[in-house]
Amino acid sequence: MRAMPTFVKSKAAGPWQSKGQRALAPTIAFRVTEPPYELTMMRFLTMFLSLLALSGVAFSIQAADTNSIGMEFVPIPAGSFKREREIEEQLNIRRGKATTTPERTVTISKPFYLGKYEVTQEQWHAVMDNDPAKFPGRKNPVEMVSWDEVQLFISRLNQKEETNKYRLPTEAEWEYAARAGTTTKYSFGDDEGRLGRYAWYWDNSGKTTHPVGQKQPNPWGLYDMHGNVWEWVQDWYDDYPKSSVTDPRGPSGGLYRVMRGGSWNFSAPHLSSAFRGPHSPEDRSGFIGFRLAFSPSH
């Protein structure tokens, strides 16, 4: 496994001076050529790139893992997050009442890969030979797919790729990646006024989905973690663990599966990194899609 730095042109200004003028800073894009992406290397790159950022160098971490239908995956290091950092109103969609939760630590003990974008209609069609979406667009996220149908998609994709690695992320993996090391309501801070830069939601969507990747990504290079469509995760829905946990996978059964991230037809509070909603695994909706994950051990 090698991480190769590549210098490319950037519009970001850096601290370099040329005859009294601010020069353009080079962007360093680290491309990981092979999985697995080791935790020690992730920590090294994180510290190194943080120092570069302080020096004015624009950078991004890019995962070279792209599969046969064009899905790009971003390496996510092991680590932990606090849920909740502070008392935050958590509207329960099914019960119609607000709840609050105490702070506890959720640990993700192993690195994994997560889709850079929500699965698109083009990618769904490449595997399933149909397009069930309510809002047509090759690059728009696929929706009108039940949790059960997503499992069939995963099975067929694994067959197509001659592997068994693809899966939905767990709820804990999803929130950890959505937060991307932040402790705020959203991955960019607490200010809802900035949400439109990162998300398609009720205030700006025009009552439709939009092509993936048009808004700004979170700090780990993941797009549309807030808004566009809700995303199915693996877990059954239940009350969140009341104590600190490692690699939680939810209850063994239930009535509803968890969806995360909010969507084009929901308001700002529903798009926070912590917000969680339940939905029947058999139901289809024009506001629920998904993204895939896999573990580097595969």
Domains of the chain by residue range = 3-63, 78-294
Q: How far apart are CA 35 and CA 295, in angstroms?
A: 9
CATH superfamily, region 78-294: paralog of FGE (formylglycine-generating enzyme) (3.90.1580.10)
* pLDDT in the model for residue 102: 64
Count the neighbouring beta carbons within 10 Å of the beta carbon of residue 103: 11
Q: How far apart are CA 150 and CA 289, in angstroms?
A: 9
State phi, psi for 20 to the nearest 5 degrees: 85, 0
User: Burial level of 197, CB count in 10 A (0-12/13-18/19+)?
Assistant: exposed
* pLDDT in the model for residue 202: 98
CA angle (245, 116, 234) in 5-degree steps: 40
Per DSSP, what are the bridge partners of residue 62?
31
pTM of the model: 0.77
Q: Which pLDDT tens digits describe the chain residue by residue (298 residues)?
A: 434 433 333 333 333 333 333 333 333 343 443 444 444 455 555 455 444 433 433 344 444 489 999 999 999 999 999 976 443 344 444 445 445 456 789 999 999 999 999 999 999 999 999 999 999 999 999 999 999 999 999 999 999 999 999 999 999 999 999 999 999 999 999 999 999 999 999 999 999 999 999 999 999 999 999 999 999 999 999 988 888 999 999 999 999 999 999 999 999 999 999 999 999 999 999 999 999 999 987 6
Q: Are strands 13-18 and 21-24 parallel, antiparallel or unpaired?
A: antiparallel
Q: Which amino acid is at 267?
A: S
* pLDDT in the model for residue 242: 81
At 195 the three-state DSSP class reads helix
State phi, psi for 125 to the nearest 5 degrees: -60, -35
CA 291 to chain centre: 8
Secondary structure string (H, E, C) spanning 148-168? HHHHHHHHHHHHHHCCCCCEC
Please report which helix (H) or strand (E) contains residue 271, including its range.
Answer: none
